[in-house]
């Protein structure tokens, strides 16, 4: 026994490797999420660059089409002399400058492969001006009636210029298509690399979590073995006592009687400790947290990291008090009843000048014990949430019977409903408690601001579902 006492360690020391694995696994999952987000951002950037390249390729095709319209309209007018034939020519001349300007902007941008275009731009500008000038000259001559002059050597020059323009545009288009293919390949490599990194990090995190579960299971087995050893040791002592003489047996009977009384006293003390932990320690820590928050508001110069650390320690203390009280299961409802227990809870939790909690409970004598217990847990959870998150100074708790239902309302004057965190469990716990006794649970803004929690449960387990007109 002495050796066991010397080698006993706090639970957090024996569970340190498991906690380390859990933290490492959580970090791995966080890194996986970060890698995935970064990969998506890079892929989105690649997709935007590809769209820019595709737009440049489309503008190349459009510019070439407009030049062909200019040539087609000019040739048709030379052959027919009809002004209607000049429609493609006029439309091409009107649209080509803007299209060409857009093309220059796309091919000269930071994400484009502008080297090829810069080298060819002067040639393309000269050829385009030359081709349009030839077309304008031929159209002007045709309008003046000199059809033979219009169809002379200038038409051959225009065809040569058009062929040179087509060759330049084909070269730029091929370069753009190569650039698009290179971007696609780069995006594929990036996607594969991101996927591999995410899979590796997620697998590592899963393995660490599995290892933590294994360590915790091993620690539980060791605890069970220790308890078995203690039970065997107790049975051995009882066997030794049974072999004693009649005097020792009489003494043993007296000791057993004392042990029974001691055990009853321990049970009574556990209930008292549960009440004290929940009603006293929890209130003190909650009040201290409010004081710290008030200090942070009143004294902005206080170190925010130390305030955050202190607030975190207070939150951890509140959670510890709740777990201890829940484990010891305080018998408030068995001793006092639901109404008296809620009134006692509100009185204990109130802070003069800072927090006012009012309780008005009627018809609680009609509640069965299991329903009263679930409603009391909802009151605890809702009031604790108001203290921790709502920044409330007043909380109202009311309860009454209405058409076979018991209606419980908890309202505060705080900041109102806020976005629910993914890891929050308070609302889920209250909803599950109401559902366990066949009731309904609602949470939302109160009629006068703040938050309101409403639980409606049947006084007795209903045989079938019925429609009820809820009180407002």
pLDDT for position 329: 57
pLDDT for position 41: 86
Full-model pTM: 0.37
pLDDT tens for residues 225-243?
Answer: 888 888 888 888 888 988 8
The answer to whether 355 and 363 are in contact (CB under 8 A) is: no
How far is Cα 14 from Cα 30, in angstroms, rounded to an integer? 26
The answer to whether 175 and 113 are in contact (CB under 8 A) is: yes
pLDDT for position 136: 85
**Percentage, residues of the chain above pLDDT 90:** 11
pLDDT for position 286: 81
pLDDT for position 79: 81
pLDDT for position 147: 58
In order along its 472 residues, the chain shows pLDDT tens digits of 444 444 555 655 666 787 787 888 888 888 878 888 888 888 888 788 788 878 888 988 898 898 888 888 888 888 887 888 888 888 888 898 999 888 888 777 655 555 566 667 788 888 888 888 888 888 888 888 765 545 554 567 778 888 888 888 888 888 888 888 888 888 888 888 888 888 888 888 888 888 888 877 887 888 888 888 888 888 888 889 888 788 877 775 564 344 334 433 544 564 567 667 766 777 787 888 888 888 878 888 878 888 788 888 888 888 787 657 644 555 666 777 889 889 888 888 888 878 889 999 999 888 888 898 899 989 989 988 888 887 888 899 999 999 999 999 999 998 888 887 766 678 898 999 999 899 999 998 988 788 999 999 998 865 544 444 444 4
pLDDT for position 257: 44
């Amino acid at each position: 026994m002495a050796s066991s006492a010397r080698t006993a360690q706090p639970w957090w020391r024996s569970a340190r490797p498991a906690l380390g694995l859990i933290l490492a696994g959580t970090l791995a999952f966080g890194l996986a999420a970060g890698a995935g987000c970064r990969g998506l951002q890079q892929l989105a950037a690649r997709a935007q660059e590809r769209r820019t390249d595709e737009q440049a390729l489309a503008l190349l095709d459009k510019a070439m089409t407009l030049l062909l319209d200019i040539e087609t309209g000019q040739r048709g007018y030379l052959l027919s002399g009809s002004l209607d034939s000049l429609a493609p020519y006029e439309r091409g001349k009107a649209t080509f400058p803007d299209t060409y300007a857009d093309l220059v902007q796309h091919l000269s941008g930071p994400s484009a492969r502008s080297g090829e275009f810069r080298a060819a731009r002067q040639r393309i500008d000269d050829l385009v001006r030359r081709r349009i000038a030839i077309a304008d000259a031929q159209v002007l001559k045709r309008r003046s009636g000199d059809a033979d002059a219009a169809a002379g050597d200038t038409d051959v020059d225009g065809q040569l210029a058009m062929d040179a323009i087509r060759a330049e545009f084909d070269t730029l288009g091929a370069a753009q298509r190569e650039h698009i293919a290179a971007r696609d390949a780069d995006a594929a490599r990036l996607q594969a690399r991101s996927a591999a990194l995410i899979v590796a990090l997620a697998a590592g995190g899963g393995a660490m979590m599995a290892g933590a579960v294994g360590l915790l299971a091993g620690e539980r087995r060791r605890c069970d073995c220790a308890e078995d050893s203690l039970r065997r040791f107790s049975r051995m002592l009882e066997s030794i006592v049974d072999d004693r003489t009649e005097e020792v047996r009489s003494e043993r009977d007296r000791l057993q009687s004392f042990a029974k009384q001691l055990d009853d006293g321990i049970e009574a003390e556990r209930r008292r400790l549960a009440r004290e932990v929940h009603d006293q320690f929890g209130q003190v820590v909650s009040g201290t947290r409010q004081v710290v928050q008030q200090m942070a508001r009143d004294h902005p110069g206080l170190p925010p990291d130390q305030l955050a650390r202190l607030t975190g320690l207070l939150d951890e203390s509140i959670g510890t008090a709740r777990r201890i009280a829940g484990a010891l299961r305080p018998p408030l409802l068995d001793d006092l009843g639901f109404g008296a227990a809620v009134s006692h809870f509100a009185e204990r939790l109130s802070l003069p000048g800072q927090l006012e909690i009012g309780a008005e409970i009627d018809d609680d004598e009609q509640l069965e014990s299991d329903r009263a217990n679930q409603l009391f847990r909802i009151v605890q959870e809702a009031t604790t949430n108001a203290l921790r998150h709502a920044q409330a100074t007043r909380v109202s708790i009311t309860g009454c019977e209405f058409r076979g239902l018991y209606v419980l309302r908890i309202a505060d004057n705080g900041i109102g409903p806020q976005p629910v965190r993914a890891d929050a469990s308070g609302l889920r716990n209250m909803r599950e408690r109401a559902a366990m006794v066949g009731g309904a649970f609602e949470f939302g803004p109160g009629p006068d601001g703040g938050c309101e929690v409403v639980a409606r449960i049947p006084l007795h387990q209903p045989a079938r579902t019925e429609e009820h007109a809820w009180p407002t």
